[in-house]
Amino acid sequence: MISSDVIRGYNDTIILSLLIQGDSYGYEISRNIRTITNEQYIIKETTLYSAFARLEKNGYIESYYGEETQGKRRTYYRITPKGIEYYREKCKEWNLTKNVINKFVKELDDNGSY
Amino acid sequence: MEVIKSYLDNIFMNLPKNKEMERLKNEMYYNMEERYHELKIEGKPENEAIGIVISEFGNVNELLEEMGIDPEENKGDYTLIDVEESRKFISLKNKTSRLIGIGVGLILLGVSLLILISLLVDRNLILQTLPKNTRETIPVIILLLMVIPAVVLFIYSGTKLQKFKFIEDGQFDLTSDV
């Protein structure tokens, strides 16, 4: 299980990447995150909805009411062109971050030295 | 499922009550319900499934912050009621429900009598000796005799409950001391 502190800055990116593949709703998104990562990352319910609130406020996603199925009417989310643009930037940022962190993160040998 | 429902009820109890929150709460309930069923299908025992669902809920303050809601802000707006007062409310509610029931019964009875007596009068089965005008007025008088006490009962119940209107509107918090 990954700690939510480490991944905090990238929840939005993860959600946007799923919405690029098509409109979706809360549970489907959280299930997809779970299965894609082989249960190594389980997004908390409140984390998911605060990400939705933030993304919507910034105009990166839009929400709409879906058709009612089995008595449930779900809120669906759709990515906006602005959201796609933001996703591209975040991907660039991640590649940079990854390169920087990789310069410092190395496997130590049994004696605790490189 | 009741556990999950009351868990959410508790969390949302002190939060602003509006459409947006209602929608959010429903949505979260659907998600937790679905997750619960999924865990059950995986063969998890009920208690464990509920435990996992609740542990995956997270911290509500994180969400409130993003939505621009101060979790403490709404608490002060509500009147606190204790056990005694809630008992009073419940017994008054029972009493007024009965009174309103009686009122409705009286009105129904009045209407039935109106129809019955008018019919009997029309067919000259009763009150044959009275003048025509009086014969036609009697059923209406009987109806009024039933409606007036009913209205009194309604008004009485309404004024009694007025004091507890904030409870009916859901604008209260319970004190934790029992």
Structural domains in chain B (count): 2
| Percent of chain A residues topping a pLDDT of 90 | 75
Q: Is B122 on the interface with A (CB under 8 A)?
A: no
Residues B91 and B34 in one domain: no
Q: Which residue has the higher pLDDT, A7 or A5?
A: A7
Among B77, B97, B116, which residue terminates a domain?
Answer: B77
Residues B69 and B144 in one domain: no
Cα dihedral B82/B88/B91/B96 (nearest 10): -120
Q: Which domain covers residue A81, as residue numbers?
A: 4-102
Closest partner residue to A44 among B27, B56, B67, by Cβ?
A: B56
Per-residue pLDDT at A2 exceeds 90: no
Residues B39 and B50 in one domain: yes
Residues B87 and B169 in one domain: yes
pLDDT under 70: residue ranges of chain B:
71-78, 176-178
CATH number at A44 reads: 1.10.10.10
Q: Is B62 on the interface with A (CB under 8 A)?
A: yes
The reported pLDDT for the residue numbered A69 is 77
Among B20, B42, B77, which residue terminates a domain?
Answer: B77
Residues B93 and B128 in one domain: yes
| Percent of chain A residues topping a pLDDT of 70 | 99
Q: How far is the first Cα of chain A from the last one, in angstroms, to the nearest whole number?
A: 27
Q: Which domain covers residue B113, as residue numbers?
A: 79-174
Residue A107 located in a structural domain: no
The reported pLDDT for the residue numbered A97 is 93
Please give the helix or strand (H or E) that residue A12 lies within, else none: helix A11-20
Question: Cα distance from B60 to chain A (closest Cα, Å)?
Answer: 6
Using alpha carbons, select from B159, B139, B140, B167 the residue that is nearest to residue B79.
B167
Residue A82 located in a structural domain: yes
Are A69 and B80 in contact, with CB atoms under 8 Å apart? no
Residue A76 located in a structural domain: yes
Residues A27, B59: C-beta atoms closer than 8 Å: no
Residues B168 and B110 in one domain: yes
ipTM: 0.84
Residues B18 and B33 in one domain: yes
Closest partner residue to A42 among B30, B38, B56, by Cβ?
A: B56
Among B33, B55, B77, which residue terminates a domain?
Answer: B77
The reported pLDDT for the residue numbered B72 is 67
Residue A111 located in a structural domain: no
Please give the helix or strand (H or E) that residue B89 lies within, else none: helix B83-122
Residues B70 and B92 in one domain: no
Residues B69 and B83 in one domain: no
